[in-house]
Amino acid sequence: MDDKDQRIIRTLQREGRMTNQDLAAEVNLSPSPCLRRVKLLEQSGVIKGYSADIDAEAYGLGVTVFVRVSLADHTEATVKQFESDIERVDQVLECYVMTGSSDYLLRVVVADLADYEKFVRQKLHPIGGVASLDSSFVYGVVKKTNVLPMLID
């Protein structure tokens, strides 16, 4: 991947609905080679898809919670079951396997505190093998972006 590919990716991350003509002008390419590069980036899996960036609060999910999850044991069955179950929980937007004092970090969105309690009681507690949950509520956002940085040479 060269500098032009990175510029295409960064531009599409900022504005995924722009025309190929506008994209080509933005990255200083003619439209045909630009489109060819975009297609190659899609085919290689670098560009995985396109989506809308939705304001969760305006959508009705104004509370973001980071939940640290520790498992009771780390058997293959427990880990597979937790990961399989968590993939099906719509309120969990991201789930990361972590080093350190907890095993997973979840990014969860809910409408309000009552909704979070319902989420914990009805979605997290039934998942077997969970030893502990530690929740941190977001009360402000300093920076949020999906635009990856340029690679450093």
pTM of the model: 0.88
CB contact at 8 A, 129 and 95: no
Residue 118 CB: number of other CB atoms within 10 A? 14
Query: How many C-beta atoms surround the C-beta of residue 73 within 10 A?
Result: 9
Query: Rounded distance, CA 8 to CA 29, Å?
Result: 10
Task: Name the percent of the chain lying above pLDDT 70.
Answer: 100
Is it the case that residue 64 has pLDDT exceeding 90? yes
pLDDT, position 47: 96
Tell me the two tokens of residue 137. 């509520």
pLDDT for position 112: 98
pLDDT at 6 over 90: yes
The pLDDT value given to residue 44: 97
Please say whether the structural domain 56-137 has been given the CATH code 3.30.43.10. no
Domain residue ranges of the chain, discontinuous segments joined by +: 3-43, 56-137
Residues 78-82, mean pLDDT to the nearest whole number: 96
pLDDT digits (tens, 9 = 90+) for 9-63: 999 999 999 999 999 999 999 999 999 999 999 999 999 999 999 999 999 999 9
Range 3-43 classified under CATH 3.30.2010.10: no
The fraction of the chain above a pLDDT of 90, given in percent, is 94
Same fold, 3-43 and 56-137: no
DSSP summary character for residue 100: S
